[in-house]
Structure 1
Amino acid sequence: MPEELDDVLAAFAQQIETRFQMSLGQLRDAVTAAPEASPEATTVARWYGHLEEAQELLSRAEDELVLALDRAPAGELEDPVMALADRVNTLVAVRDGRAMVVRHLLDDNAPGKSAPGAWHGVSRTGPAIATTPVARPAAVPAVPVRGGMR
């Protein structure tokens, strides 16, 4: 695994360890033993595991692509090589999506986490924006109809 990716996973691991005041291994053991004890820890540990899995799959797919590119004739990329490149692109999107979820879970100021709202089960009793009734003009008298035209 490239060093910069190790750094990204290590940075997330460090944030998780700081937040829960235990090593990632201890957190995983605690979550496995009692997942209902801390739903937040359970969710973070699960998504970090998904992120690690996605990174591992991506690294393998990239290695396969590099090998296929080395074997491919110069200037020609056949369908199997293009399929591998497509797979790498898909796995990058999966990995990045999982990283965004972990980042969101660790961010206390993320949208929807800092203030209660309808998405947290708090229902509103009034309009979202204070409104005033629209002023309506007095009724206009009807114009008499002459000769069948208005």
Structure 2
Amino acid sequence: MSDDADDVIRVLTERTEARFDMSLPELRRAVTAAPQASAHAVEVVRWHGLLATAQRALERAEDALAAALTPAPEGPVGERVLRLAHRVDEALQIRDGRAVVLTRLLAPHPPGTPGPAAGYAPAPSRHRGGAAAAHPVPGLPAPLSAQTGRGVVR
């Protein structure tokens, strides 16, 4: 396991503990005992677990690749080594993707939770003295008031 992997798990664990003001094992127990108390805490614990699982898969893939390369192969790299290298790459992408999701969930105001912009409605445009156009501009996302659910305009 690389130091970088230790840092990813360690940093996100520290952020999780700081966000909920309790250790990760305490948070897991609290979520298990009362999942209805905080849907956000449930998601953070879920994604932290997914991240840890992805990290273990990455470590296994790295170990298999290292074993295939020891001793160093003579001649061209074999098909097996290439498959193992691709497996390491895929495992790394999965781990990093899960780390990104967890990072966003731990942001001060994750999507779906009230934040400083909650209820924000832009003021009418004062450009040329008229109101803002009521229809969306092609190529730009629909106004927040037209979005529902997971960002899908209906």
Report the Cα offset of residue 10 of structure 1.
1.1
Aligned to 2:105: 105
Aligned to 2:81: 81
Please state whether the residue corresponding to 2:45 is helix, strand or coil.
helix
Gaps of 5+ in 1: 118-128, 133-150
Report the identity percentage: 47
Report the Cα offset of residue 89 of structure 1.
0.6
CA distance in 1, matches of 2:100, 2:14: 16
Once the two structures are superposed, what CA deviation does each residue of 1:35-78 show, in whole Å capped at 9, x if it has no partner? 11110110001001100110111011101101101246323211
Letter in 2 for 1:60: R
* Contact 2:51–2:95 under 8 Å retained in 1: yes
Aligned to 2:58: 58
Quick check: which has more Rg, 1 or 2? 1
**Relative to structure 1, is the Cα distance of residues 22 and 3 closer, same or farther in structure 2, using a 3 angstrom cutoff?**
same
Q: How many residues align?
A: 126
Q: TM-score, normalised by structure 2?
A: 0.71
CA distance in 2, matches of 1:74, 1:65: 16
Q: Does 1:130 align with 2:150?
A: no
Report the Cα offset of residue 33 of structure 1.
1.5
CA distance in 1, matches of 2:99, 2:4: 14
Letter in 2 for 1:131: A
Report the Cα offset of residue 92 of structure 1.
0.7
* Contact 2:27–2:45 under 8 Å retained in 1: yes
Report the Cα offset of residue 80 of structure 1.
1.3
Please state whether the residue corresponding to 2:36 is helix, strand or coil.
coil
